[in-house]
Structure formats: C-alpha cells, structure tokens
Amino acid sequence: MQYGGPEVLEVVEVDEPHAGPGQVRIRVRAAAVNPTDTYVGTGARAEMQKADPPPYVPGMDAAGVLDEIGDGAETDLAVGDHVMAIVLPKGAHGAYAEHIVVPAESVTRVPAGATDAEAATLPMNGLTARLSLDLLALEPGQTLAVTGAAGCYGGYVVQLAKADGLRVIADASPADDQLVRDLGADVVVPRGDDVAARIREIAPEGVDGLADGSVQNGLLLAAIKDGGGFATVRGWSGPSARDLTIYPIWVRAYLNEQAKLDRLRQQVEDGSVTLRVAGTYPAAEAAEAHRQLAAGGTRGRLVIEF
C-alpha cells in the first residue's frame, strides 16, 4: 500500500456491490470531495484501516440514480429516482465509485431542481451542521458564532442557524465578506487568530455557542460566554478552564437520520440552504480535484463525476 499526496489516487476495479437487507444501491453520478477524503491517501487513517485490505475508496457524499432496493429496506424511493446519500467509507467501500450500497436511512431524494453534482455537496456537511446545531441546542434569538463560515460546513451552519432563528456572527476574509453576508450572517468579522476578540466586540457578553469550521480550537474559547457551548469538528475536546461545554462533532452519529437528511432537501427547495459547486472533474482526474482542494481557497465543493 502506497501513501502520499493526490498522486496516489488511481482508478481501480472493485467487485460490484449489491444491496443487502435494509440497504439500497446507487449508481453514483457525483461524489463530493471533502477534506477528510485526503486523509485516506496520506496514511493518516492507516492504523484505523489496517483491518481492511486495500484498495481504499474515499468519499462520504454520493448522488445519482437509485438502482437496487434490498429486502425489507424501509423506503418510499423507487428504482430510477435521483437520490443523494451520506456514506461512511470503509476499505473498498466509499462514494468515489460507480456503485455504492448504503442503509436505506442514509438516502433521500435529490432536491427538486438540483443537479446530482449540486446534491452531492449536501449530505455529509449538511448533516454535520445539523448535528452541531442540535447539540448546541440554542433557542431562537440566541447568538451563534461560526468560523470558517465561507467553507462548506461553516456555510451550512450559517444557513441552518438562520433558519432556526439564531443571530449569527461569522468570520470571513475581505474577499469572502459578501459571500458570508449572502449566506445570511447578521454580522461578519475579519477571520484570523484574534477572531475571538473580534466576536467579543460584537457580543461583549460572549456568544451562546460557537461552531468551529476553521478548526482553531482553543483560540476561540474566549469568544464564548460562561455556560456556552463549543462545537468542534476534528475531535478537539479541550481543556477549557471555564464553564463551557465542548461537543466534538462526528457526523457518523447521523448516518441513519433519514428525516434530518430529508429536511435538508426541503430546505434547499425552500431556498434556505444553497448548494455550491466549485468545479467538477471526471473520475480519472480525481487527483487533480484533490490537488485543487489542497491548494486552499476553494469556495463551494469540488465534485467528481462518474
């Protein structure tokens, strides 16, 4: 097994999977490229993956056409429907594939009017944003700060928080200021290592909750009021010297939350959530998509098409 940069991505033949009991199969047309996908190739997951034989297929988001329904799968979807799914990759099982088999609860319809590429940008990060907000459990009118707000996760947090009736303070570089305002942030502060102080200038008492899409961890604690909550997305869990609740967010907790995934679909259809595709690549050029992601500054999601 060779680990490395984007160049280790290659097209391989794998056995065609079939839907088992409770599962459905998707003929994948689009798979989003997420930061986590790059860890499969670098070897950052080597310890976790060693029980599974290579090849390793990355990818946590798929959209395409439902083409098999397994026995007893509880779904109102039919073969031929355009669907999107969250995927938990394991070994040769990942969304960068022509076919993927997933639990029926991981799947819902593609939002009306959305392409498969657009839909593929939603399940994993939309559910992560939803989980963050559910754990922070703020009431309408309370204040949430969001960092990395121009990013995929941060952008969905901003939009879902506004739909939940929260006041949102978000960070942005000057180039992204308008983008983050357009996502619905009430106040935009400059991003950077001193962003906690910038947030405190807007909310002197501190914010009720903070969702850390920029992965700045402890640098952000000072923005949060005593008793507030902090959602972190790369496993950081403190310490905090103050009375704060830190929630390490792991989206796999929502793998089978079909109603939540379907609610995201509805929120796209009603205009409260927007889908952003930064570019599309044929499967054979997946390495190029990873190079583009690694270069930084991508706004919206890169998508691999099959």
Tell me if 256 contacts ligand NAP by CB under 6 A.
no
Position among 23, 125, 258, 267 found at the interface with ligand NAP (CB under 6 A): 125
* Shorter beta-carbon distance to ligand NAP: residue 19 or 30: 30
| Closest distance of CB 69 from ligand NAP, Å | 28
Tell me if 191 contacts ligand NAP by CB under 6 A.
yes
Which amino acid type is present at position 257? E
CA triplet 162, 226, 153: central angle to 5 degrees?
35
Tell me if 166 contacts ligand NAP by CB under 6 A.
no
Question: CA 140 to CA 164: how far, in whole Å?
Answer: 6
Tell me if 215 contacts ligand NAP by CB under 6 A.
yes
Position among 211, 233, 277, 303 found at the interface with ligand NAP (CB under 6 A): 233
| Closest distance of CB 159 from ligand NAP, Å | 13
Position among 53, 190, 250, 270 found at the interface with ligand NAP (CB under 6 A): 250
Question: CA 283 to CA 277: how far, in whole Å?
Answer: 16
Position among 108, 214, 267, 292 found at the interface with ligand NAP (CB under 6 A): 214
Residue 241, number of CB atoms within 10 A of its CB: 7
Stretch of residues binding ligand NAP (CB under 6 A), selected from 142-150, 197-205, 222-230, 284-292:
142-150
Tell me if 297 contacts ligand NAP by CB under 6 A.
yes
Tell me if 249 contacts ligand NAP by CB under 6 A.
yes
Tell me if 64 contacts ligand NAP by CB under 6 A.
no
Position among 28, 83, 152, 273 found at the interface with ligand NAP (CB under 6 A): 152
| Closest distance of CB 73 from ligand NAP, Å | 25
Tell me if 148 contacts ligand NAP by CB under 6 A.
yes
Tell me if 111 contacts ligand NAP by CB under 6 A.
no
Residue 96 · residue 31 · CB < 8 Å: yes
Tell me if 23 contacts ligand NAP by CB under 6 A.
no
User: By Cβ distance, which residue is nearest to ligand NAP?
Assistant: 151
User: Both tokens of residue 282?
Assistant: 């044929």
Tell me if 136 contacts ligand NAP by CB under 6 A.
no
Position among 41, 126, 213, 228 found at the interface with ligand NAP (CB under 6 A): 213
Residues of this chain that interact with ligand NAP (CB under 6 A) are 34-36, 124-125, 128, 147-148, 150-154, 171, 191, 213-216, 233-234, 249-251, 296-297
